[in-house]
Amino acid sequence: KSSKWIMSLIWCHIFTSRREILTRIESVILGIVTSLSKDEAPVLALPKRSSWASVSFDTAVGLQMSSGCSVTTIRSDCPASATKFAQIVKIISVIYRLVQSNSYATKRDIYYNNTQLFGSQRTVDTIVDDISCLLKIPRRSLHVLATSKGLISGHLCYLEEDGTRINCHSSSAAVAVSSNIVGIRNIVSSAKFIMIVEKDATFQRLLDDHFCTKLSPCIIITGKGVPDVNSRLMVRKLWDVLQIPIFALVDADPHGIEIMCIYKYGSAMSFEAHSLTVPSVMWLGLLPSDLQRLRVPEEALIPLSKKDEGKLNSLLKRPYLTSQPDWQKEMELMQQSKVKAEIQSLAAIAPDFLTSIYLPNKLRYGGWV
């Protein structure tokens, strides 16, 4: 009981109070009004989210925004940034009304609110994240929801905020990850572990082979490639509540490794690391060393492209890799062998090798790093 009480306090802390959100928005607007009253052109300073120079690494949390991170200046009197300034102010005003009325909207709703101003859905997506970073408030606390692309299945039941009971074990079909993770409650599970699956095709294969019931009770989740915020939030919430091991099953290539690192350490959304990262994620497979150990046929291996090599070099320089020597070894092995492989390459050994031999043996005998 005490651990659940502590976790509820943490989640309450993460999801900032409505009054605090309104105060922070009012502070931004006051800055704009003050500039106008002095006959000065208003300016917004946005933290550079995508710059590695703006990020520091904490082993217990993951990637975090540095306190003195660099900023991008959005001027209202500069032709190159005036439109973006107007777009930001418009979305801030929408968010203010949503929070004030305790109602919610999707990013798609905001786009259709003024398609001429925004031009594309991508513009809205980026600006919502910029505002979240500017205000230092998690996006979901801004009452802006995104449609989830992730899927989840296995030994798990919970209640949605509206009282709908979700049973992830009711059929061979997966359940879409909720768009409102903070509203989920009454989580019940007998799962012994959670497995993050990089790709939808592998996830569907595990479903078809009834993986969650064959070996031991578990939960599998996929963000269908690079995970959306809701998929990452779901993994984090399950880890907080269930306190069970979390494994990652990704392709043995730089892209798969980067996706696993997003779940474990974070991404450009580093200012939200406390609620998005799961530092305990373990790399179950596909390991570059597995390719040699299992003698995966050469025809199933793919040569690394120049882009792959560049990505691999970039990953090896990231601040969090120094705390993961075993991961470094695997990535250096990939560098030396100059080959990569998809999870599906295991089918070259035997059609059911992944679910009947590879995963059961890995999980039984501790074949992760």
Give the number of C-alpha atoms closer than 13 A to the C-alpha of residue 347, restricted to the C-beta side. 6
In order of 24, 27, 97, the CA distances from 17 in angstroms are 11, 16, 15
Q: Is the pLDDT of residue 360 over 50?
A: yes
Looking up tokens 């208003």 gives 42
Residue 56 confidence (pLDDT): 59
Q: Minimum mean pLDDT among 31-40, 47-56, 146-155: which range?
A: 47-56
Task: Quote the CA–CA distance of 329 and 335 in Å, as a whole number.
Answer: 10
Cβ atoms < 10 Å from Cβ of 260: 22
Task: Work out the burial of residue 144: count CB atoms within 10 Å of its CB; fewer than 13 is exposed, 13-18 middle, 19 or more buried.
Answer: buried
Residue 271: the pLDDT is 57
| pLDDT above 60 for 11 | no
Task: Select which of 112, 158, 265, 320 is catalytic.
Answer: 112
Contacts of 205 (CB under 8 A, 6+ apart): 354, 355
* Tokens at 326, concatenated: 């075993």
Using 50, 70 and 90 to split pLDDT, how confident is the model at 10?
very low
Does pLDDT of 265 surpass 60? yes
Could you tell me where the DSSP H helices lie in 156-228?
A: 200-208, 211-214
Report strand pairing: 144-145 vs 218-222.
unpaired
Examine the pLDDT at 326 and tell me if it is beyond 50: yes
Average pLDDT in the 62-90 region?
80
Span 337-356, average pLDDT: 90
Which one-letter amino acid corresponds to residue 158? Answer: Y
Instruction: Tally the residues of the chain.
Output: 369
Q: Is residue 112 annotated as part of the catalytic site, yes or no?
A: yes
If phi > 0 it is left, if psi is from -120 to 50 it is alpha, else beta; for residue 287 that is beta
Confidence label for 328 from pLDDT (cuts 50, 70 and 90):
very high
- Higher per-residue confidence, 205 vs 50: 205
Q: What is the pLDDT of residue 45?
A: 86
Mean pLDDT of the region 145-168: 88
Confidence band for 12, pLDDT divided at 50, 70 and 90: very low
Q: Which residues pair with 71 in a beta bridge?
A: 47
Mean pLDDT of 245-261: 95
Which residue blocks in 151-272 are alpha helix, DSSP H?
Answer: 200-208, 211-214, 229-242, 254-265
pLDDT at site 152: 94
Only one residue has tokens 């990850």, namely 177
Judge if the upstream peptide bond of residue 242 is cis by omega within 30 degrees of 0: no
